[in-house]
Amino acid sequence: MNSEKPIIGITMGDAAGVGPEIILKSLRHPEMHDICRPVVIGDIAMLERAKSFVGSEIPVRAITEDELEGLPEDSGTVYCLDLDLLPADLPVGQVSPEAGHAAFEYLATAIRLAMDGKISAICTAPLNKEALQKGGHLYPGHTEILADLTGTEEYSMMLSAPNLRVIHVTTHVGIVDAINMINPERVYRVIQLAHETLRRSGLENPKIAVCGINPHAGENGLFGYGEEEEKVIPGVERAQAEGIDVVGPLPADTLFFRAVRGDFDIVVAMYHDQGHGPVKVLGLDAGVNITVGLPIVRTSVDHGTAFDIAGTGIADEKSLMEAIRQSVDLAPKK
């Protein structure tokens, strides 16, 4: 019998990390099955091994792509689209080219299924960037793979945590490169992406605040070399002229406090650590990574593979559970 619950494809990420463990721990919560039909895209052998790490007896069953359409609602079973790419004795907690390559293939498969409408959204467990590149895939991370394989040129990373949302103008580049990459067109497009994403989520007129690049947002030329005036302000003014409720650039050292207080619905950060730091201060298990601008829905945990605790069963599943919830909220509705 067909179900109206969306099918959420959960990619295993780097199977040498905590991905298989947090997937099993998440899917033993009945509430996850109440809101969607989850299917793991990965290696069933890694899930079977992880059952001993987390003390789970939940059955794991392999399915084929042809079985996705009729995927049942079953909170007592974990269904896995088994790509069978890894040896059963893959070392835990170590960088592995084989695991890096497999993580890429899991994601590529999920992207194809989402583009074909066979799954409603993608939720990703973490991959390891070093393993990914040693496995032959020269990408900085998930976001860039998603953009490349979907043919998306304009996209951004949005982090969502309790009382704080952050979207980024630049992400996985060095600080000098990030400043060089910032320009009015990119600032405008990220403001626009933030506005469109929050409107789709139900906010009629989201309040957006934009960070400065320099300390105190340059303080009228006292700090920096006019980057705010040259790179940021024209993009903000263009968005304002279109009726978007946006202010800035504002000093980042106080802006995030104001956003958590409720003054703004989302903050536009200029570079990776400017945006990630405040979110992670709220708790590594609280953040969810959402790639906006794609033709498909993708959410993710906002933590890494945690090789240091992989295999111990102590990894916290809360971030993955929240990522699954948000993927359901953002998935296309029938």
Q: What is the CATH number of the domain that holds 57?
A: 3.40.718.10
Residue 282 lies in a domain: no
pLDDT (average), residues 168-197: 94
Residues 134 and 206 in one domain: no
Exposure pattern of 93-113 as b/e (b: 16+ CB <10 Å)?
A: bebbebbbbbbbbbbbbbbeb
pLDDT (average), residues 130-146: 93
Least confident of 125-134, 237-246, 248-257, 275-284: 275-284
pLDDT (average), residues 109-132: 96
Residue 17 lies in a domain: yes
Residues 198 and 127 in one domain: no
Domain with 264, as residue range(s), is 163-277
Residues 135 and 193 in one domain: no
Residues 139 and 222 in one domain: no
Residue 283 lies in a domain: no
Residues 145 and 16 in one domain: yes
pLDDT (average), residues 86-100: 96
Q: Is the pLDDT of residue 180 over 90?
A: yes
Residues β-bridged to residue 166: 159, 267
Residues 35 and 142 in one domain: yes
Residue 2 lies in a domain: no
Residue 284 lies in a domain: no
Residues 42 and 124 in one domain: yes
Domain count, the chain: 2
What percent of the chain is modeled with pLDDT above 70? 97
Residues 30 and 99 in one domain: yes
pLDDT (average), residues 126-133: 95
**pTM of the predicted model as reported, rounded to 2 decimal places:** 0.84
